[in-house]
Structure 1
Amino acid sequence: MRTRTIRPVIAAALGAGALATVLVATPAQATEYPSNLKIAGVQYDAPGRDSNSCTTGNTKAEFVTIKNFSRTARMNLKGYVVKDAVGNSYTFRLNHYLEPGDHVKLRGGRGTESDAGNVAYRNNCNFIWNNDRDTIKLIKPGGAAADTHAYTKAANDRDGNGFITFHS
């Protein structure tokens, strides 16, 4: 998440001795949350023509990747929530362990939530991520933010392939 801060600077007006308040914008700053689990990337625009059909659609090709960036800690996704800007959400209901450096792709479509193949399915064939802009939130079981990223196609997807990387 990026925040922009504005700091007041008080300067003496030359020759008049009066004080003037000037607002100076500082560069955008990233806010980092204390979490080993981060949103590593998103395939927000599934390849092909968008279709919500569970049998012939391409919602399985839309996904968000969550990665364990810890060097030593094994992390359990149980209770973590992934949300978009308007509140569509998915909660990991089962134990889903990520070893250090491991990741899971949370996909649309039907399937299981298991450790097999580093994939979990939302069991919903509707798209969740907007193709022009959205916000992805990863929320810890207690409700605290683990990671948040807002994107726009124009600003963040320079090659236009529908995929954006957030953390390397």
Structure 2
Amino acid sequence: MRIRRILTAATTTGAVAALGLVAAVPAQAAEYSSALKIKGIQYDAPGRDDNRCSGGNTKNEYLTIKNYSRSTNVNLKGYVVKDAAGNTFTFKANHTLQPGDYVQLRGGRGTDSDANNVVYRQNCNFIWNNDKDTIYFYKPGGARADVHAYTKTANDRDGNGYITYHG
């Protein structure tokens, strides 16, 4: 015996609309199972962009990563930060974040410092676009820890070049 189900137009329309809403949710709305998340980004360094290693302002472009766990220390070694164009930075040294602690991943050259919560990319080129970009953050095993897309016009209401994600 076959059972037939007849869907009314209203039911079908509602189901299609619900599916459309699910498909329209942006990728950055998903929460990933990671204690470390992107807290914010200074995607547009103050002043005129100058990527000279000496005298430039790439050090003023940075990504802030925070440990949102209440009880777990997390070592950044092996975590990867990437932009939409495929520019990649891998944390190669041990840098442990205690619960509530953060680190700023800065452009330019410098000395990494646990005391000052800073790691330098050792690259004087800017990584983040000033108009729009996507920030990907991956765990050492390759699983996505966090992701955010931004546009200057939609996400930086005050125009200061800084966007906050996870408070």
Q: Is the contact made by 1:37 and 1:68 (CA closer than 8 Å) also made in structure 2?
A: yes
Which runs of structure 1 show a deviation greater than 6 angstroms over 4 or more consecutive aligned residues? none
Aligned to 2:144: 145
Question: How has the CA–CA distance of structure 1 residues 159 and 142 changed in structure 2, closer, same or farther, with 3 Å as cutoff?
Answer: same
Question: Does 27-36 or 98-107 show the bigger shift?
Answer: 27-36
Matched, 1:94 2:93: yes
Aligned to 1:12: 9
Q: Following TM superposition, by how much is the alpha carbon of 1:138 offset from its aligned partner in structure 2, in angstroms? A: 0.8
Which residue of structure 1 lines up, in the alignment, with residue 109 of structure 2?
110
**Structure 2 Cα separation of the partners of residues 28 and 144 of structure 1:** 20
Alpha-carbon distance, 1:86 to partner: 1.0
2:87 partner amino acid: N
Deviation at 1:112, TM superposition (A): 2.4
- Cα distance in 2, alignment partners of residues 20 and 161 from structure 1: 46
SS at match of 1:116: coil
Equivalent pairs: percent with the same residue?
Answer: 66
Larger strand proportion of the pair: 1
Answer whether contact 1:94 1:113 (CA < 8 A) is retained: no
Corresponding position: 1:119 with 2:118 = yes
Amino acid at match of 1:130: N
> Aligned equivalents of 1:20 and 1:131: distance in 2?
43
The worse-fitting range, judged by mean Cα deviation, of 123-132 and 107-116 is 107-116
Output aligned runs, 1:1-168, within 5 Å. 11-12=8-9, 23-24=16-17, 25-26=20-21, 28=25, 30-168=29-167
1:78, 1:92 within 8 Å by CA — same for their partners in 2? yes
* SS of match in other structure, 1:154: helix
Shift of 1:20: 6.2
- Please report how far the alpha carbon of residue 12 of structure 1 lies from its aligned counterpart in structure 2 after TM superposition: 2.9
- What is the CA deviation profile of residues 84-121 of structure 1, one whole-angstrom value per residue up to 9, with x for unaligned ones? 00110111111001010000000001012331300000
CA contact (8 A) 1:76 1:95 kept: yes
* Number of equivalent positions: 154
Q: Aligned-pair distance for 1:49?
A: 0.2
Give the AA of the match of 2:92.
Answer: R
Instruction: Give the TM-score normalised by the residue count of structure 2.
Output: 0.87
Note the alpha carbon deviations across 1:56-77, whole angstroms, 9 max, x for none. Answer: 1100000000000000101100
